[in-house]
Amino acid sequence: DTEVTQTPKHLVMGMTNKKSLKCEQHMGHRAMYWYKQKAKKPPELMFVYSYEKLSINESVPSRFSPECPNSSLLNLHLHALQPEDSALYLCASSQVAGASPVVLGRTDTQYFGPGTRLTVL
Amino acid sequence: KQEVTQIPAALSVPEGENLVLNCSFTDSAIYNLQWFRQDPGKGLTSLLLIQSSQREQTSGRLNASLDKSSGRSTLYIAASQPGDSATYLCAVNTGGFKTIFGAGTRLFVKA
């Protein structure tokens, strides 16, 4: 099974709302990612968790708060978003490979979920 | 800083044609390179992954090559079909859990 699931598929929220995006994988992958993708642009990395610890935060505003409760789940908590945050949010997972996996951060095939289409009004 | 470029940005071909998509990267110190397909509004589907020690990978009608020293990869699609219409993205893994994506090539295969 190479499936990454994401819920919800679509989300519309106001600027004062609090919502969460969820991602799940059961492939035993120890790296999980959040990407943001605007129309006709490539995905932009937001966060990476490795072995349930935050490894990368690409200077993402604090209104986005990631959480990795266990090795299969990844959440993205949203609060006080802006209209420009409207985008497709993609979750991905991969194996961590090679010697010194946490130090080197080398990963194999990334598997992506279908995404959550977020609209902020 | 690693930069990934894909040429052409868009391509339209008749059904049955063989085609090549190009990807170039500025820093040859990569761990692997991955090709993805993305349909409009959908997630990314992994097509092929080439490790830095490999020269090519094949899957069905797809063949990806890697020339690390020159910073280039190509994705060859044989006997294209309308169902191949999508955006194709290449991405390099540089270590440090970072993957750098190219902007993609939008492919349209006409029936």
In this predicted model, what pLDDT tens digit does every residue of A70-114 receive, in sequence order? 999 999 999 999 999 999 999 999 988 766 666 666 778 899 999
Mean pLDDT of A42-61: 94
CB count in 10 Å sphere of residue B8: 11
- B1-54 pLDDT tens trace: 899 999 999 999 999 999 999 999 999 999 999 999 999 989 999 999 999 999
> pLDDT band for position A63 (50/70/90)?
very high
Contact B36 A107 (CB under 8 A): no
Per the model's pLDDT, the better-predicted residue between A47 and A99 turns out to be: A47
Taking contacts as CB-CB distances below 8 angstroms, the residues of chain B near A106 are: 31-32, 93, 95
Say whether pLDDT at A1 is over 80. Answer: no
> C-alpha distances in angstroms, B29 versus A16, B51, B54, B71?
44, 12, 14, 9
Closest C-alpha among B32, B35, B23 to residue B50: B32
Token pair, residue A25, equals 């994988």
Please, which residues 8-67 of chain B have a Cβ atom closer than 8 Å to chain A? 31-32, 34, 36, 41-46, 49
Mean pLDDT of A2-11: 94
- B79-90 pLDDT tens trace: 999 999 999 999
Token pair, residue A78, equals 């949203």
Taking contacts as CB-CB distances below 8 angstroms, the residues of chain A near B96 are: 56, 104-105
pLDDT of residue A107: 75
Mean pLDDT of A39-63: 94
Taking contacts as CB-CB distances below 8 angstroms, the residues of chain A near B89 are: 42
pLDDT of residue A100: 65
Contact B43 A106 (CB under 8 A): no
The rounded mean pLDDT for chain A is: 92
Say whether pLDDT at B95 is over 90. Answer: no
> pLDDT band for position B98 (50/70/90)?
confident
Taking CA–CA distances from A40, the nearest residue in chain B reads B103
